[in-house]
Structure 1
Amino acid sequence: MNWDWIISACLGIGLAACCGFRIFVPMLIASIAAKLHIIAPMQGFEWISTTPGLLLLGIATLVEIGAYYIPWLDNVLDTLAAPAAIVAGTLLSTSFLKIDNPVMDWGLGLMLGGGSAGLIQAGTSLLRLGSTATTGGLANPVVATTENAASFGFSILAVLLPLFAFVVLFVVVLFFAAQLARKGRVWFTRATQRRPLPPKI
């Protein structure tokens, strides 16, 4: 069994999943870890460990985190974050997947990394909408702080303990997938119940 490949895959997918909480935090953690030679990105993705890349990701992370504490802007960001999280998750997972075939590399990166990031991002957006509806947005800063902590915590865990982080994040992805499926069934039921009956002949 190729443990080196498994660990690198768990690392990439784990970091990618964290993009569902915050887009730039996992990329910043990966950049710092690569700069310290704790992890090594694949050929073609060395920019992650460069000083300009680290500075840009640091600035982007600060802007993203701060923006989620601005009323009304957090919900707007959720709309933009959905596709961005998938792109970032795909990029991060592909950066560490040790596959020589570029098509397979990007394909798996999109399915595993982008997919997990997209599911978690959709789940956190659902939580934020629920918070806005029930508290008028007063509890949104608490939700934002929790997401920040989860993104930093899980990203660091993915770097230091990739296998363990992968298992934990897999459970998180399943939880959010179940919540989204349940919400989808509720919306579908409401939509079908509101459909007018056909007129009697």
Structure 2
Amino acid sequence: MNLVLNLLIGIGLSAASGFRVFIPLLIMSISALSGDLILAENFEWIGSYSALSVFIVATIIEAAAYYLPAIDEFLEKISKPATMVAGTIIMSSFIVDLSPMLGWVLAIIAGGGTSALVNEQRLESKKNSITANTINLKSLLFSTREICSAASLSLLMMLAPITSFLVFFVIVVLLIKQIF
């Protein structure tokens, strides 16, 4: 059961990284420092004070940058590989008691794949909803929604993993409906 729960939390936090890269890592760091989260052996650095400082600064910069149109466009271009790396790291930090090969394959497919899927849906939703006439206002609203989605999904995954995994699926379904 512990492995399944770890996998659910890892997948959920990887999905949250599809919205914003650093928010799930920040919440993981806070949870690890408070003793509520035990990370895999090689990923204990996420729960260090230096990592917490880096994640705080990175989260603030990332959140602010998405509100600036020129930087927003650049970040959209690099978001897919960045979210895939973050999703893989997040998932890897939850995989314990598995062979290294199986763990990395699972982390890349489940963690990186989930974050890439959510990121792609997010980009499609934004592209289909924003027109030249509404670019500033809707872009700001989308950025706020994405920050709130990443933060709430990350917090839910840490507090109530099974319930939040169901919430994650509802969010994905809503994003897919919005695209089509």
TM-score w.r.t. the length of structure 2 is 0.92
Q: Matched residues in 1 for 2:174 and 2:97: separation?
A: 29
**Aligned amino acid, residue 52 of structure 1:** S
User: Structure 2 matches for 1:19-168, cutoff 5 A?
Assistant: 19-133=17-131, 135-168=134-167
Q: Is the 8 A contact 1:21 1:148 kept in 2?
A: yes
Q: Deviations 1:8-56 (Å, cap 9, x if unpaired)?
A: 1111111111001100000000000000011110101000110001000
TM-score by length of 1: 0.83
1:138-186 deviations in Å (ceiling 9; x for gaps): 3101110011111110100000111111222134335546766x5xxxx
CA contact (8 A) 1:132 1:138 kept: no
The answer to whether the 8 Å contact 2:125/2:175 transfers is no
> Structure 1 vs Structure 2: percent identity of aligned residues?
33
Kept after mapping to 1: 8 A contact 2:18/2:117: yes
RMSD: 1.7
The structure with more helix, counted as a fraction of residues:
2
Distance, in Å, in 2 between the alignment partners of 1:106 and 1:64 is: 27
**2:93 alignment partner, SS class:** helix
Between the aligned partners of 1:148 and 1:9, the Cα distance in structure 2 is: 23
One-letter code aligned to 1:101: S
User: Would the aligned equivalents of 1:119 and 1:177 in 2 still touch at CA under 8 Å?
Assistant: no
User: Cα deviations across residues 67-120 of structure 1 (Å, max 9, x unaligned)?
Assistant: 000023212211101111011001101100224311110111111111111111
Q: Tell me the matched-pair count.
A: 179
Which of these two proteins has the greater Rg computed from alpha carbons? 1
Number of the residue aligned with 2:16: 18
Q: Check the 8 A contact 1:23/1:88 in 2, yes or no.
A: yes
User: Deviating runs (4+, > 4 A) in structure 1?
Assistant: 174-180
